[in-house]
Structure 1
């Protein structure tokens, strides 16, 4: 009985750790207008408040996963939580925009150390199929819906205290988690090996260059040399990353993980889905505040339908998967996301009313995302050899957070192209948000295509075919 209780305490610790790192990808969104005024940041530079956190988070996840394999997952979880708490305090104290962005990057690096260790500990703690499915459902609900909770908390702190509280609150939570980790999680084994530091550095710089290129395109135009040089450098570096991984003795991304079509499809599908859904968290709150005159808190509360729907699916997904299989549930969820987001793009305007249409559509999108995230998590971990658990867990999170940063970078160019020079016009702002949301539909549709072609039954051994439909 004690062992059973201990496992669920471990799950609570893992979920709490995942929640604070996911919250911090969105907790600043509803505070962006206030941050811009207090630290003298332009609209385009404010995107780096998000990307300064997300890029190192996604880029160093694989190195964090490797560090957990070599140095012990409990140790890396503790180190990550400790550094995350310190970085959060520094971000809350930031006197300048530059200091804030560096602190946010430090936060992202710390989160990259903690997150893969947490997911690998979940996989190791819940081995029995039904328990594991329930645990992954809860984890997936937090991973997918935690961003909207961040919007709500960020709005509350911004309206009633200060945006800085959204950073300070991580400190006592981090201290409590450090105690619980030491109390309830046993130290995992270590093994000898080498860090693929070059691979990690090249991947981070490559992804940052790619995102920077898109942001420069939004800010200065596609014709500027800086835009094309940055985009070309990003592509070259990411190709170099694949070459490095193919030659490394102990790569952070074992390329054999992509030999399984289901896993490859899960990584690609998650990347594309998050490209679309995360961008909603950036554009819709800005629309609600700048066009419909919502307060920061009201803009955060507006995402409750999404949050409640996605968390609610946590209880239904295991039964749906057991009855229909991961692939059918995934495709149904993606279809709901596409339909809800497409309809949302059509009603965004100066005359729009939040209730009931936007309310209902955000709930539909939340249901769809909730149906899609858990199957993508399960399929991303399917048939993974024990020595690759950390790398596979890291890749799931890399796909998630790389999608967040690249999707936002791409769609900010759509927004800037649509809004033109008259950025004070509410009508133009609404039109630009509508176009950006339509871009989210494109990403969700591409995720559906990836799911359709990568998860169709293939001529594989019977055991792997069963995993496809289970």
Structure 2
């Protein structure tokens, strides 16, 4: 909800603080840059210091960012506060997922936990558009940040009370060089996507910078004794598919929801609150899909992921062919259901790793998800505004359908690659208590045992 709750409040914020268009351009991607850029570092900190401790530290930083935003006398304070909130989210999210997985056993229990994780995330993200609009209209936008401060305090108290102290951890050095390269490359990519609609030259230069830093990061990771991402994690059968799927699910559904929200306001004359209400079918479908996914992934997580992506693409194409409110509501339901089942399947694939790699896997999955939102929403809106005067919603929806098709093809390609070259056994993996029968590579039986923390 931290990502979307301020969207409807942005015009009021800028008007109250007399912000300029340039400052608005900084305010929008500030959270995304902090969130997407530091997720892997947040996961690595959890490996080194313990997920419970790092999660509590992340909540403290989020509280500080909320206070900065709530008392902001100028837009620059809002930008700083949103950046801090994004950094705090990056520190918190992967370690929350590690604690969740560590409290479950492989099988139905873990699938249900992942379903609940993705259902609450999808519901909060979509409902943030509605909540932000209603709160801003009735109580003022500053109440949003005071409410997040109160919520942060409640969460911290709950974690202290309900989550036991972590096991003792061996001190691990953090690779500063890899961290800097990764943060700068991800930040440049997010900034390039956000600059696309206003300056193609700036977007191109930032994209070149992001791409140019990738080889340097790969070389650095291979040559260091303490890599940011454990090298063995890429040999796991589901890592690549899970990461690609996590990117694709958020890239398509976030863009679809944003473009459709704009369409409700631009083409149908609805206000922010009413447009937010029209998005609720998407939120309910996310919850339903996530709840059913816990059972569906038994038939193969990769298959469920592909089905989810296809449903999202079909929903976007349906609105392109018949842009009417009844069709749009059906498309939102299809997209939400695809999000629910696809996100659970992607996380099931991506977390199919030994216990010592759980934090890094969570960091990769969440980095991919946040990049999907930050990059593709900006590109989708940029394409829709670049085609002609105003917003060409059809171009935005076509972008969603094309992205869903491309990610589906990439996910199927990782399946073929895995089948052609199965990874060698990893001696570092902990023993599993699963039956001796050969598991399906995409089923829950393939999930390694996870130690309780």
TM over 0.5: yes
Output the CA distance in 1 between the equivalents of 2:357 and 2:159: 23
Offset, 1:126: 0.4
In the alignment, is residue 380 of structure 1 matched against residue 350 of structure 2? yes
Q: Is the 8 A contact 1:310 1:367 kept in 2?
A: yes
Q: Is the 8 A contact 1:67 1:76 kept in 2?
A: yes
> Residue deviations 1:142-165, cap 9 Å, x none?
233321021121121122122222
In the alignment, is residue 468 of structure 1 matched against residue 446 of structure 2? no
Q: Is the 8 A contact 2:264 2:270 kept in 1?
A: yes
Alignment of 1:199-218 (within 5 A): 199-218=178-197
1:463–1:234 CA distance, 2 compared to 1 (3 A)? farther
Output the CA distance in 2 between the equivalents of 1:257 and 1:274: 22
In the alignment, is residue 195 of structure 1 matched against residue 156 of structure 2? no
Output the CA distance in 2 between the equivalents of 1:52 and 1:233: 19
- More helix per residue: 1 or 2? 1
- Of residues 289, 301, 305, the one that matches 1:326 is 301
Q: Which runs of 5+ in 1 are unaligned?
A: 1-22, 421-427
Output the CA distance in 2 between the equivalents of 1:91 and 1:204: 23
Output the CA distance in 2 between the equivalents of 1:316 and 1:289: 32
Output the CA distance in 2 between the equivalents of 1:445 and 1:399: 17
- Of residues 3, 9, 26, the one that matches 2:4 is 26
Q: Which runs of 5+ in 2 are unaligned?
A: 424-435, 445-453
In the alignment, is residue 369 of structure 1 matched against residue 339 of structure 2? yes
Alignment of 1:274-353 (within 5 A): 274-322=250-298, 324-348=299-323, 352=324
Matched position secondary structure for 1:182: helix
Offset, 1:134: 0.8
Query: What residue number does 1:390 align with?
Result: 359
Offset, 1:43: 6.7
Query: What residue number does 1:360 align with?
Result: 330
Query: What residue number does 1:77 align with?
Result: 55
1:104–1:40 CA distance, 2 compared to 1 (3 A)? same
> Residue deviations 1:305-351, cap 9 Å, x none?
000011012322222223x3222222221111110011123444xxx
Query: What residue number does 2:378 align with?
Result: 409
Output the CA distance in 2 between the equivalents of 1:64 and 1:449: 30
1:400–1:307 CA distance, 2 compared to 1 (3 A)? same
Offset, 1:367: 0.7
> Residue deviations 1:371-415, cap 9 Å, x none?
101010010011x12221111111111111011111123223312
> Residue deviations 1:36-71, cap 9 Å, x none?
433445678646434211221121111111111111
Q: Is the 8 A contact 2:297 2:304 kept in 1?
A: yes
Output the CA distance in 2 between the equivalents of 1:80 and 1:187: 16
Output the CA distance in 1 between the equivalents of 2:140 and 2:440: 52
- Of residues 248, 258, 272, the one that matches 1:272 is 248
RMSD: 2.2
Offset, 1:255: 3.1
- TM-score of the superposed pair, with normalisation by structure 1: 0.86
Aligned residue pairs: how many?
429
Matched position secondary structure for 1:169: helix
1:219–1:41 CA distance, 2 compared to 1 (3 A)? farther
In the alignment, is residue 451 of structure 1 matched against residue 406 of structure 2? no
Q: Is the 8 A contact 1:74 1:185 kept in 2?
A: yes
Output the CA distance in 2 between the equivalents of 1:414 and 1:45: 22
Matched position secondary structure for 1:468: coil
Query: What residue number does 2:139 align with?
Result: 161
Output the CA distance in 2 between the equivalents of 1:419 and 1:104: 31
